[in-house]
Structure 1
Amino acid sequence: MSSEISSAGVTLISQGTGYGLLIGLGILFCGVILIAVKIQKAYLDEDSGTSEMFMVANRSVGTGLTASAVFSSWMWINETVFSAVFCYRFGLAGPMWYGSGLCFQIALMAALGVLAKLRVPYAHTSLEIIRLRYGKAAHVVFLVLNLCCNIFGCASMILTGSQLIHGIAGIHFVAATVLIPLGVVLYTAVGGLKATFLTDYLHTAVALILIIYFTLSILSHEAIGGLYGLYDKVTAVAADNYIPGNYQGSLLTMKSHDAIIWGLILKFGNLALVVMDTAFWQKSFATEVNATVPGYNLAAVAIFGVPWGLGTVVGLAARAIHDTPLFPTWPGEFTQGEVLSGFVMPYAIQALLGTQGVIAFFVLVFMALTSTVSSSMIAVSSILSFDLYKTYINPAASDRRIIRVSHLSVAFHAVFITGFSIVLNYGGANMTWIGYFRPILTSSGILPLILALTWSRQTRLAATWAPILGFVSGLAVWLATAKSMYGSITLATTMKECPSLYGSIAACCSPALYSLLLSAYRPSTFDWREFLRITAVTQSEPSPVTTITTTGDGTTDTTPPSPSEKTPIETATATTIETDDLVHPLDKQTLAHLARWYRIAWVTFGVLVLLTFVAWPLPLYRDYIFGRAFFAGWTTVAIAWQFFAFGAVVVYPVYDGRWEIWRGVRGVMGSVRGWLKKSK
């Protein structure tokens, strides 16, 4: 796909409206978040001018806000726009497999996050854990993998968003690419991770309201006629919408070869996007002790309803009307290029809801994009400032200097990701190709990273070389399969499902074998207490360490340091302290709570995998086409799931944070009253 992407000669909204929405929404959200950050600092004692607050939000985020932030970070354009695309391409099996490909990764991250709290209670990034355990070489390997994961993930969203905005409003894709991250830079640089939590909540609230609006409005439109009307219209045009690989070519069957292959590819790609993304680790580090597992698992369950409900209704509605005068491309053809570019949803909305609906869709795209970009910015800024600058350039950097570098890193990442997205667009990449390539590029680090926290016998040699060998294996399998199956290695053949699936499996799974073999070559056992050398960064300037000890009643006591002791961040790599003298900073009761949450997290993970991979979808993978009643029940549950998601990640966070909200409101009201008295 080139930069000459169009909407079949149809402009859905004017260019002026598009620019106004893009710039206006950026300014609005930037202003709201900056005001919220000021209120936090003034009335809630939360200062983003410290490293702990900027990178891990002082480890104080509750369950509700955690669930909302994780949900927002995971609600990419894929789950909204492209769930409709894959329903249009594969039928109702597409959104179902899309939903099942989103849950288990977040549930896995809940288990890893609480394990990190048990073993590395003061970690700031996942790379910090790798550096302390395996040294410089492995740290550099994972640093590159993490950056690639964030860069490709963020760039693919901006690329897709700019192409959609270009098609919808006629805005040049370069202008859209520049404007999308512009407003995000300021509030992310100023507010840090807590600002992204707040903006994630706002994005989630607005996006879910719009998702429910689209689902219900399209379904109830007279051209669709409700659940039974949608079923009847899709059935009536079945002969003109034959889907190769589906049972009897039907859109209304779960037996879809291409859908299940795509679902498997999606699972590997999404697993890499979570485990290899520093942002998800940082969010787990930022949570309270009792908030990690319930917050992440609440988001894992809630996210299922977005692609399932929205994709099913919009994708099938588009199939029902794409050959009618209602559709924007009529009487021309709705081309495969436009489908793969994501225009299924905006065209269906234009046909059924008009310009008002397209404007609402534009807002939804903006919500999904800026949420992704803000999360990526804070992750990359933490990597560049903490894992690169602090580690290799200026080890003696003060907390104030780290914050300054973090701010500059946010701006640098915005400029770089904008340029990279433009290069991808001119290079002919689209969302489908990137989605197939990304798991091969980033999946090789998944298992070695997990083993760094779970297996004490993984050696430095294994952690360094297993990801490299895994990537080479995945790339070789991908290209070789494309060559053997399709006769050549081109952009088109590498975008086929089977080569990408086999390459993803090789890239993800082979590092486990490499790690076992390399660890057996020169075996060693890691002492988990070594992770306690990583401590919190709490001073704005270098200052000595305070020794933390645990008293008999389970409380903590502190011993004033001597002037010769090192700064907190220097202690992370210190070797002068004996291992037996390292004491866990959390008391026994807290550790017992974390151990219980750890068990609950793995049980939840197992249940979600069993339900979404096996017990639910596989019995329906048979020679069966949905009947009217079954389809109505299926879609009703999918829509109800959207309302559950709204309650879980929009309503509940307000209740969970009601006391902090009330403190902030009282502080603002008191300041306003004082200002009014002073003015009088």
Structure 2
Amino acid sequence: MSSVASLSLISQGAAYGLLVGLGVLFCGVILIAVKVQRVYLSEDSGKSEMFMVANRSVGTGLTASAVFSSWMWINETVLAAAMCYRYGLAVPLWWGSGLCFQIALMAALGVMAKIRVPYAHTSLEIVRMRYGKIGHLVFIALNLVNNVFGCASMIMTGSQLIHGVSGMHFVAATILIPLGVVLYTAVGGLKATFLTDFLHTTIALILIIYFTLAVLTNSAVGGLGGLYDKVMATASENYIPGNYEGSVLTFKSKGAIIWGLILKFGNLALVVMSFATEVYATVPGYNIAALAVFGIPWGLGTVIGLTARALHNTPIFPTYPGELTSIEVSSGMVMPYVLKALIGQKGIIGFFFLLFMALTSTVSSSMIAVSSILSYDLYKTYLNPKVTDKQLVRVSHLTVVIHGVFITGISIALNYGGANMTWIGYLRPIISCPGIIPMALTLFWSRQTRLAAILSPILGFFSGLAVWLATAKSMYGAINIETTSNQYPALYAAIASFFSPALYSVVLSLYKPYKFDWREFLRIELADEAEHHAPSDTTTLNESSEEEQSRNPKSVSGTVESSQPGNIQSKVLERPATANEKAPKSILQLSPEDVQHPFDEEALKQLHRWLKIAWVMFVIIVLVTFVAWPLPLYRDYIFTKPFFSGWTTVAIIWQFGAFGAVVIFPLYDGRHAIKTGARGIWKSSRDFFRRMAKA
């Protein structure tokens, strides 16, 4: 059972009301959004392409907002403050750098996937084409475990925080958190989660900026200068082993840099290929999100964590005269305690809103990912290859519900097992890292063999697990939650879990060398691709009208028709196949030399241009946030008052910049769709009231 003691910062009735009310509110919002999309914007979430990949119609602004929201986990808000309290102000910056470079990497991988495998629904389709059924099933298992564990751990963390704040039983909180998300995700699909992610992002950023400024300007803190003075005055009682002179105001912190490394390994597993956007939206959208997300743990974590250090032994702090325990810190209670001390009841209500926003954005993204895997990669591929689009959407809805029930059970089990937010953060890299390098090599190294791809992630997981447990036993004499919550076993395990699959893959690939022909990927086809692409697309298109396509969507000029998800629409025939005529030669029978890329030369040039831009952005972000900025600060130096004031001011300005990038810009970017939808609603409302008046 959760070991976080409840101080009842808010009543249980209010907590139940907030959880249920917010869930109902978001269900209502998404139902309205789905109706508006279908009626006024011709976007039907009842079609599988729209449900699973948003018809690849997500623009730059909405992409940035959705990516930002998906990466705005509880970790980078609540736990960033707790870890700043534990190790000092170096943690929030390392945290921000660990998020932004990985999002930039996602952009580069997304473009590469678009070039190599233009029409894949998911990364797992790529695996199936290259490694066959066994490799496909192995990576399905890796993806499912990663998604289920990540999602369940976030729900577990949220339930512990709600229990600690209100006294609500964590089982009730665990059930209520995903309930509303299951409903609106099942109804709306991926585009719906993009829209609700925008709403999550807007509310969360307003709260983050408000919390940061309200805490700093509180009379008990006294602004940036007051915070610095109070931290310096309490330096003797806030000594941190491993920091330069034990100060929380130094960047030279062993604990902070180890935590940052563990975090980076764990988050790397989330670097998966996104097929929900076109390239023109992927690269700028992901990089906007990468820059925006940097400021969230940096600003909020610094202010809240240091404020807790300054005030935790004063009468206004909720735990006074007791100590703020290690278990409470590990469970993320630092932030709600500070908000209760300085803002009061409305601060805790705001914290509930922020908690709900962070949790639901994570859960909804996970649900769509798992739904796509179970419905497309399992059900359609192995159980019912001739499934209709309507049936596939129905299966997707069902899998969302199944996933919601399953992760709820896992979350409850983790709670009863005594896990907390920090322990989960240490375990995540061991579970999620083994598949990263084999998956990357699938796109980048033609000599990785099927055997290597299948065995290397499995061996990598067991290597990481063995290192984690053996190191904990060797260093601390036992294997339990407490000993495995130490930094060094977790760091060594993360390194083993991440890097050992690379060694296994190379050795196994050299055992029986084989070179994969990248043109084989061009055989992957979405059977209904032509139905979902307008004539202006850079993909292979027909010349028929939308009306003709709706009458016979499988009449596609210049494409090969197949009901199996293993081919690609490609201009490979000398003459087009008509509706009443089968293709003269199956694409599966063609040699690789005869399989042409569906994109023309100009489109490929644009894609390679975007790829260069994505890699340049990635390199710049890594060099700035890993080398040029933090490393010169890792020395025998304690921040002076002017330097600290400038440091925190820039962090706060970054928060406002993030608001402009992922809230205001998406509204501008989507202004035409918003205008169309608003006009449609206005016209429908006016017609309705006219009919009512006549009646």
Contact preservation (8 Å) 1:215, 1:310:
yes
Aligned to 1:133: 130
Deviation track 1:487-533 (CA, whole Å, cap 9, x = no partner) reads 33222222211111111111111111211121122222222222222
Aligned to 1:533: 523
Aligned to 1:611: 624
User: Which residue, out of 191, 194, 199, partners 1:202?
Assistant: 199
Aligned to 1:485: 475
The yes-or-no answer on 1:161 pairing with 2:120 is: no
Give, in whole Å, the separation in 1 of the partners of 2:228 and 2:688.
61
Give, in whole Å, the separation in 2 of the partners of 1:119 and 1:399.
26
Give, in whole Å, the separation in 2 of the partners of 1:171 and 1:434.
22
Deviation track 1:610-666 (CA, whole Å, cap 9, x = no partner) reads 111111111111110000000000000111110111011001000111111101111
Contact preservation (8 Å) 1:57, 1:193:
yes
The Cα of 1:564 is off from its aligned counterpart by 11
Aligned to 2:668: 655
The yes-or-no answer on 1:627 pairing with 2:626 is: no
Aligned to 1:6: 5
Q: What secondary structure, in the 3-state scheme, does the structure 1 residue paired with 2:370 have?
A: helix
User: Which residue, out of 7, 13, 33, partners 1:16?
Assistant: 13
Q: What secondary structure, in the 3-state scheme, does the structure 2 residue paired with 1:488 have?
A: coil
Query: What amino acid maps onto 1:6 in structure 2?
Result: A
User: Which residue, out of 81, 86, 90, partners 2:83?
Assistant: 86
Give, in whole Å, the separation in 1 of the partners of 2:277 and 2:539.
22
Q: What secondary structure, in the 3-state scheme, does the structure 1 residue paired with 2:285 have?
A: helix
Contact preservation (8 Å) 1:164, 1:342:
yes
Contact preservation (8 Å) 1:290, 1:593:
no
Contact preservation (8 Å) 2:98, 2:263:
yes
Give, in whole Å, the separation in 2 of the partners of 1:608 and 1:571.
37
Q: What secondary structure, in the 3-state scheme, does the structure 2 residue paired with 1:498 have?
A: helix
Query: What amino acid maps onto 1:119 in structure 2?
Result: R
The yes-or-no answer on 1:367 pairing with 2:357 is: yes
Aligned to 1:216: 213
The yes-or-no answer on 1:66 pairing with 2:79 is: no
The yes-or-no answer on 1:113 pairing with 2:110 is: yes
Which stretch of the first structure deviates more once superposed, 578-587 or 297-306? 578-587
The Cα of 1:474 is off from its aligned counterpart by 1.5
Which stretch of the first structure deviates more once superposed, 605-614 or 69-78? 605-614
Aligned to 2:407: 417
Gaps of 5+ in 2: 544-553, 569-585
Aligned to 2:266: 269
Aligned ranges 1:668-679 → 2 under 5 Å: 668-679=681-692
Q: Cα–Cα, structure 1 residues 405 and 74, in superposed 2: closer, same or farther, change >3 Å?
A: same
Which stretch of the first structure deviates more once superposed, 467-476 or 51-60? 467-476
The Cα of 1:565 is off from its aligned counterpart by 5.1
Give, in whole Å, the separation in 1 of the partners of 2:13 and 2:590.
63
Contact preservation (8 Å) 2:3, 2:327:
no
Contact preservation (8 Å) 1:289, 1:594:
yes
The Cα of 1:570 is off from its aligned counterpart by 5.4
Contact preservation (8 Å) 1:327, 1:347:
yes
The Cα of 1:182 is off from its aligned counterpart by 0.7
Give, in whole Å, the separation in 2 of the partners of 1:5 and 1:436.
19
Query: What amino acid maps onto 1:399 in structure 2?
Result: D
Give, in whole Å, the separation in 2 of the partners of 1:80 and 1:215.
11
Q: Cα–Cα, structure 1 residues 4 and 458, in superposed 2: closer, same or farther, change >3 Å?
A: closer
Query: What amino acid maps onto 1:187 in structure 2?
Result: Y
Aligned ranges 1:266-305 → 2 under 5 Å: 266-275=263-272, 281=273, 284-305=274-295
Aligned to 2:572: none
TM-score (norm 1): 0.94
Give, in whole Å, the separation in 2 of the partners of 1:618 and 1:183.
44
Aligned to 2:223: 226
Contact preservation (8 Å) 1:50, 1:538:
no
Aligned to 1:384: 374
Aligned to 1:278: none
User: Which residue, out of 610, 626, 629, partners 1:597?
Assistant: 610
Query: What amino acid maps onto 2:81 in structure 1?
Result: A
Which stretch of the first structure deviates more once superposed, 91-100 or 350-359? 91-100
Contact preservation (8 Å) 1:302, 1:648:
yes
User: Which residue, out of 243, 247, 268, partners 1:250?
Assistant: 247
Give, in whole Å, the separation in 1 of the partners of 2:634 and 2:104.
25
Query: What amino acid maps onto 1:501 in structure 2?
Result: L
Query: What amino acid maps onto 1:86 in structure 2?
Result: M
Give, in whole Å, the separation in 1 of the partners of 2:14 and 2:555.
61
Q: What secondary structure, in the 3-state scheme, does the structure 2 residue paired with 1:83 have?
A: helix
The Cα of 1:571 is off from its aligned counterpart by 3.5
Give, in whole Å, the separation in 1 of the partners of 2:496 and 2:240.
29
Q: Cα–Cα, structure 1 residues 659 and 223, in superposed 2: closer, same or farther, change >3 Å?
A: same
Give, in whole Å, the separation in 1 of the partners of 2:562 and 2:226.
71
Q: What secondary structure, in the 3-state scheme, does the structure 1 residue paired with 2:433 have?
A: helix
Aligned to 1:124: 121
Which stretch of the first structure deviates more once superposed, 228-237 or 509-518? 509-518
Gaps of 5+ in 1: 276-280, 540-544
Q: What secondary structure, in the 3-state scheme, does the structure 2 residue paired with 1:11 have?
A: coil
Aligned to 1:331: 321
Query: What amino acid maps onto 1:166 in structure 2?
Result: H
Give, in whole Å, the separation in 1 of the partners of 2:391 and 2:590.
26
Aligned ranges 1:175-186 → 2 under 5 Å: 175-186=172-183
Give, in whole Å, the separation in 2 of the partners of 1:575 and 1:437.
43
Deviation track 1:439-480 (CA, whole Å, cap 9, x = no partner) reads 111201101101111111111111111111211221222222
The Cα of 1:556 is off from its aligned counterpart by 4.4
Aligned to 1:567: 563
The yes-or-no answer on 1:403 pairing with 2:399 is: no
The yes-or-no answer on 1:516 pairing with 2:506 is: yes
The yes-or-no answer on 1:26 pairing with 2:23 is: yes
The yes-or-no answer on 1:579 pairing with 2:578 is: no
The yes-or-no answer on 1:312 pairing with 2:302 is: yes
Q: Cα–Cα, structure 1 residues 600 and 574, in superposed 2: closer, same or farther, change >3 Å?
A: same
Give, in whole Å, the separation in 1 of the partners of 2:527 and 2:296.
38
Give, in whole Å, the separation in 2 of the partners of 1:660 and 1:554.
23
Give, in whole Å, the separation in 2 of the partners of 1:200 and 1:554.
29
User: Which residue, out of 430, 447, 470, partners 2:420?
Assistant: 430
Q: What secondary structure, in the 3-state scheme, does the structure 1 residue paired with 2:219 have?
A: coil
Aligned to 2:342: 352
Give, in whole Å, the separation in 2 of the partners of 1:468 and 1:414.
26
Deviation track 1:228-281 (CA, whole Å, cap 9, x = no partner) reads 000000001111111111111101000111111111111100111333xxxxx3
Query: What amino acid maps onto 1:485 in structure 2?
Result: M
Aligned to 2:495: 505
Query: What amino acid maps onto 1:352 in structure 2?
Result: L
TM-score (norm 2): 0.92
Query: What amino acid maps onto 2:4 in structure 1?
Result: I
Contact preservation (8 Å) 2:155, 2:359:
yes
Q: 4+ residue runs of structure 1 moved beyond 6 angstroms?
A: 561-564
Contact preservation (8 Å) 1:44, 1:663:
yes
Root-mean-square deviation (CA, aligned residues, Å) is: 2.1
Contact preservation (8 Å) 1:102, 1:270:
yes
Deviation track 1:395-432 (CA, whole Å, cap 9, x = no partner) reads 22122211111000000000000111001100111111
